[in-house]
Amino acid sequence: MSIETKKPSKNEILFVWLNRYAGIAIKTPSKMLVIDPVDVKPRDLKNVDALLITHEHYDHLDQSLVAEIHKLTQCKIVADSTSARRLRNVIPSEELHEVQPNSEVKFEKVLIKAEKCNHPAATPVSFVITSEDGVKVFHTADSLPFPEMATIGEREKLDVVFCTVGIAPGTSPETGVEIARLTKPKVAVPYHTGSAADLKKFDELLKKEMPKTTCLIPEVGKIYQVSKKRK
Ligand SMILES: [Zn+2]
């Protein structure tokens, strides 16, 4: 079953991991958001409301795929400055929202905040997404841990945090767990790796360091549901 035809209940979101990188589709009760789609068929993403791009690396930004999804769906595009510049020729300017750390975009009741991202790209951002019923997701892109993550975690009371555990320079299951330690989510999701061993290692380390935090090891293409943290 596709995430597009499923609807989350109140105070819940659904998500799917789309590839071995940071590609994630998030469904709130009213909106479908897709982050960093690469290696996907545009036809599988027919009802996208907004497409978010964190940085310009090939495993995050595929200009022609973004253009194709936009053509099929007329979705809004939210992108870091460098990716936005690369998309200028294919996306109409009124539908292209350029973001920097600390800027935000609102789609009706769904809020997207761009935050810092500690990754060697030109102008990378990470995203805090707040659904219409206040479910909070932190998509950290390819980021290594950085001290301000603690402030973000404290301010947002995060439900789900996506933690990079590989491929990007310097990242590992250990740096992924450090992100969870700083942000203190209800559910920590390791991603950005093709290695099942690294996903498992993240789970083992997290159990030791943060026994109360749920680890959700994702499988590409599977739909997961997360509900709001009690605040
Ligand atoms: Zn990447």
Task: Output the CA 37–ligand 1 centroid distance in Å.
Answer: 11
* Rounded distance between C-alpha atoms, residue 86 and residue 108, angstroms: 26
End-to-end CA distance of the chain: 32
Is the CB of residue 178 less than 8 Å from the CB of residue 143? no
Q: Above 70 in pLDDT, residue 230?
A: no
Q: What is the pLDDT of residues 94-109, one digit of tens each?
A: 999 999 999 999 999 9
Q: How confident is the model at residue 16 (pLDDT cuts 50, 70, 90)?
A: very high
Distance 231 CA to ligand 1 centre (A): 32
Q: Are 200 and 194 in contact (CB under 8 A)?
A: no
Contact (CB, 8 A) for 216 and 187: yes
- Tell me how far the alpha carbon of residue 143 lies from the centroid of ligand 1, in angstroms: 9
Condensed to tens digits (0 to 9), the pLDDT of residues 124-161 reads 999 999 999 999 999 999 999 999 999 999 999 999 99
pLDDT digits (tens, 9 = 90+) for 155-200: 999 999 999 999 999 999 999 999 999 999 999 999 999 999 999 9
- Identify residues whose C-beta is under 5 A from ligand 1, the ion: 21, 59, 142
> Rounded to whole angstroms, how far apart are CA atoms 116 and 225?
26
State the pLDDT confidence band at 43, using cuts at 50, 70 and 90.
confident
**Average pLDDT of the chain, as a whole number:** 95
pLDDT at position 231 over 60: no
Cα 36 to averaged position of ligand 1 atoms, centre (Å) = 9
Residue percentage of the chain with pLDDT more than 70: 98
Query: How far apart are the CA of 60 and the centre of ligand 1, in A?
Result: 6
pLDDT at 1 over 70: no
Ligand 1 centroid vs 166 CA: distance in angstroms? Answer: 9
